[in-house]
Chains A and B, each alone.
Chain A
Amino acid sequence: MTSQAVDHVALLPLYAAAGTAILALLADLFAGKRAVTITATLLGALATGVTALAVGPWDATFCVPGGCSWVPSWPAAATAALFAGLTAGVLALSVPALRLGAAPAGEFCFLLACSMTGGVTVAYAGDLLTLIVGLETLTLPLYVLVGLRRFAPGERTTTDAASASVTFFLISVISTAIVLLGIALNYAATGAVHLGMLGPAPAPFAALAGVGAALLVIGLAFKVAAVPLHAWAPATYDGAPVPIAAYLSTASKLGGVLALAAVAARLDTSAVVAVLAVLTMTVGNLVALRQTRMVRLLAWSSMAQAGYILAALALGAPGVPAALAYAVFFMVLELIAFGVVVALRPVAADGGTLDDFRGAARRHPWPGAALVLALAGLAGLPPGLAGLFAKVSVVEALVAEGWIWLAAVVVVNAVIALAYYVRVGALLYTGPAEDTGRRPVSRPVAAVLVATTIVAVVLGFAPQLLLGAL
């Protein structure tokens, strides 16, 4: 056994991400000022994103004959940058709550940066074990973040966050165990853990490998909250602070999608993934129709959106670019939607009921318009052009591979989904426009909304920027 050569340039994004986490910890320890810690983490996250894009595709490292564990390619760099961007966005969305002291800033920043480190690892992972380690690093801090909520004296305390955290923790642990079992069975059958070496097992072990692949997919399906493995998601999203719910719905889901894409591209998992896709989008959309709470509605809708991504992944390798493209477009739109919820609700409040948003766009025209853009995009309609292209790329991949029936399921679901998106959109413009409920939107939140909206509009008009990179 020789030691593997390590190319440190290839690892720079990981160093930057891990460095950010340490920086957050040290800043909290030595400076002890909230603003310093938050700024340091924010800059660290942005630096991570820039580093990932600057390094770009590079020589793979941690190699053994047949495969490498760290593979810097353009899709990897783009998704790592996306993880960093989402982290920075979620941190900025949390600033008002942190200022209020709803969560301890140092711990919050450190945990979020750790989670980002996991995300970067997932993006570059070249073998199943690195992938699962990354995924766990991504998820582990979230158990704490979901429940990290301090109450001011006299404030009504709830245990929603704590119970959300426990639910999330239990389900995640079980799903990780299933994934590990899947990896083990697959390894037993094929002797491969590197993504590049995954493939059909020799004849006597084909059944074993099949079970392994199925378990792998099922375990990862927990992470993206695919039906029927979704029960944790609505409760967890709704109990968590809204910015963390945004992180769960974007970065955490992106980790699951990347892992699934890595597996689905190389192992024959079409049947399992297709079933999961159909169930996920249909159940997600139908249940979302009946939601009365904003974050729950977004949770079910984001579940349904994951179904569209799974539909593309059911194609195997040919569907991966479409699935990743959809995921990225969706993350941007979803971050806008959650950002607007943060902006329109009182600081550190939960997501509220749909009625709390009645007439909100009349009081806050700009955030209202941003939410309409995001909802239109999630529905796949102009003016949310990014969402339209996302949907077109998935449906085109399905039609091109001859899966017209699945494409038909996808588009029927798009119609169902529009029913609740227009309900929310119309609600924003109904009712009194009186100024009683008007609150100024805090600057970091506004900055996130402006930046993400610009990204969404640019991607809407120039989707080739993204589609070309994947």
Chain B
Amino acid sequence: MNNLLIALLVVPALGAVVVALLPDRRARLVSTGFAAVTFVLSVLPILVRPNEYTWFAYQPGDGPPMVPWAEIDLPWVPALGLEFHLGVDGISYPLIVLTGLLTLLCCAYNRKGRALAALLLVLEVGVLGTFLALDLILFFLFFEVVLLPMYAVIAGWGGPNRRAAARKFVLYTLAGSVLLLLGVLLVVTSAGTGDLVTLTGAAETGAAELSPETQRVAFVLLALAFAVKAPLWPLHTWLPDAHTEAPTVGSVLLAGVLLKMGTYGMIRVGVGAAPEGAAWASPALGVLAVVAIVAGALICLRQTELKRLIAYSSVGHMGFVLLGIATMSITGVQAALVGNVAHGLITGLLFFLAGTIKDRTGTGSLDLIGGLRETAPRLAGLLGFAAIASLGLPGLAGFWGEAFAVIAAVKRGGPFWLTLAAVAAVGGALTAAYFLRLLRRVTHGPATPAVAASSPAVTRIEWLAWTPLILLTLAVGVVPALVLNDTVVPLANLLGVKL
């Protein structure tokens, strides 16, 4: 089973090499094949999920602080304290599957040649590595892997202003990741280890615990790094440009999984390595998260470009995720995890649809698109479904993350957190407002010339790419336990909460 973790990285990496060397016409098939194998591999860890650590049988402090389902630990660069330590647990598993799925769908959808297909697979290596890494420096390394490929995807296949957008993306995110490097090295040199299993729950085991001041500095560095990636207001300004210019598959992967590296890192590395720092900074994080929710929604109300609107909606959704994390409670972080996955599914779908509409009509301007329902009822229906899922209708995936982030803030109690919860709830209502505005402008009314001239049919490959996302949005909406089933024990460890 340990070889499985290595295979998860080797298969897409090998795929990228093979695809890059093949002629263009074979690229789609072969890249889809490699992505499919990776997806199957990404699902497999569920088979080794341990059953003995159910939440009532397990008390923190009983066993090792963190028990991955499967792990592999090899020395790599002892001089730098870097170990090739990978592992899967309940926190990372849903995101790993999501990455496998979205890359597969993007590879199937991609019609732009071998270079893009190869880059998608390289991106997958970086993202999977980030979610699998249990060593801080290794985490940093994989975090960096996605940087240049994503730059190339935007700069190579993007819209008219792609160069500026790509440059902004790469410089912003590098600025974030160098802060991550500082934070990670601060933790590694102060604790003497970069091993996340040792660092997580160090307060209970007493091993390698960091002083409160170090934790604060480290958490600020790490939180800033992840806030750029997530992105958290006010560090989000790279995101709309990148999304507007990126090709459809780039937007899907960027929104669907790359942003999750920020929120996942905040939970796994930020809270895991510096819990006291996180607790100290949580009010500030909460305020920023709520501002992001409201600001994202208000900006969305004024947007006139389809992809830009969806991009800004991501700022709001990531605000809910970060609010959940900021509460530092199991409910809150669970809300963050389910919100992460839901956002990946729904926004992935939204970007697929927006990209298709933009490709068909040749414009993303809301003034020029209208009456989609008249000419392309299926597409309009799907857009309606995705928009409603995104605004958090109960029964669809988007609901749980947002509702429970607010509930967790209420549970935290006190006037401060109650205010945050109330403002976040208002932000949630605004989310509904701008999505309904979007639907009114795009789907209702008479068909505009751009829409009337476009082809209405949804092709088979498009159905193939979208159906899994639609079904999973429904499934996670009805059974959020799909994501949350195995998160209680790891989260209790992470947060140092007694169950």
Residues of A within 8 A of B (CB): 321, 376, 381-383, 385, 388-389, 391-393, 395-396, 399-400, 404, 407-408, 411-412, 414-415, 418-419, 422-423, 426, 429, 463-464, 467-468
Contacts and interface: CB of A to CB of B under 8 A. Distances in A.
B171 interface: yes
B189 A389 contact: no
19 contacts: A385-B141, A388-B141, A392-B140, A396-B80, A400-B185, A400-B189, A404-B186, A407-B182, A411-B179, A414-B178, A415-B171, A415-B178, A418-B171, A419-B167, A422-B148, A422-B166, A429-B156, A463-B77, A464-B76
Contact of A415 (B151, B156, B175, B182): B175
A383 B185 contact: no
A400 B194 CA distance: 13
A389 B140 CA distance: 11
Given A382-B145, A389-B77, A467-B80, 4 more contacts: A415-B178, A422-B166, A464-B76, A464-B79
Interface string B30-65: 000000000000000000000000000000000000
Given A392-B137, A396-B185, A464-B77, A382 B144 contact: yes
A404 B181 CA distance: 12
Given A426-B163, A468-B79, A395 B185 contact: yes
Contacts of B141: 382, 385, 388
B299 to A, nearest CB: 26
Interface string B171-210: 1001100110110011011000000000000000000000
A411 B77 contact: no
B178 A426 contact: no
A62 to B, nearest CB: 31
Contacts of B171: 415, 418-419
Nearest to A466: B79
A426 B80 CA distance: 32
B312 to A, nearest CB: 25
A381 B182 contact: no
A426 B155 contact: yes
B422 interface: no
Contacts of B179: 411
B475 interface: no
Contacts of A396: 80-81, 185, 188-189
Interface residues of B, number: 33
Contact of B79 (A376, A391, A393, A415): A393
A399 B182 contact: yes
B330 interface: no
Interface string B127-159: 000000000010011001101100100011000
B23 interface: no
Nearest to A401: B189
Contacts of B140: 392
B164 to A, nearest CB: 11
B78 interface: yes
Contacts of A414: 174, 178
A467 B147 CA distance: 26
Contact of A411 (B80, B144, B182, B189): B182
A404 B126 CA distance: 28
Contacts of B147: 381-382
Q: Which of A389, A407, A426 has the most CB of B within 10 A?
A: A426
B148 A383 contact: yes
B170 interface: yes
A451 B188 CA distance: 35
B167 A393 contact: no
B443 to A, nearest CB: 38
B151 A422 contact: yes
Contact of B185 (A321, A392, A412, A426): A392
Contact of B182 (A408, A464, A467): A408
Contacts of A411: 178-179, 181-182
A178 to B, nearest CB: 35
A231 to B, nearest CB: 29
Given A388-B144, A404-B186, A395 B181 contact: yes
A376 B148 contact: yes
Contacts of A388: 141, 144
A407 B78 CA distance: 21
Given A381-B148, A382-B144, A412 B80 contact: no
Nearest to A407: B182
A464 B78 contact: yes
A395 B145 contact: no
A393 B148 contact: no
Contacts of B178: 411-412, 414-415
B174 A415 contact: yes
Given A399-B182, A419-B171, A422-B170, A382 B148 contact: yes
Nearest to A380: B144
B77 A467 contact: yes
A219 B163 CA distance: 43
Contacts of B82: 392
Given A381-B148, A382-B141, A399 B174 contact: no
Interface in B73-98: 76-82
The 10 closest A-B pairs by CB, nearest first: A411-B178, A467-B79, A400-B189, A399-B185, A382-B145, A415-B175, A396-B185, A464-B77, A415-B174, A399-B189
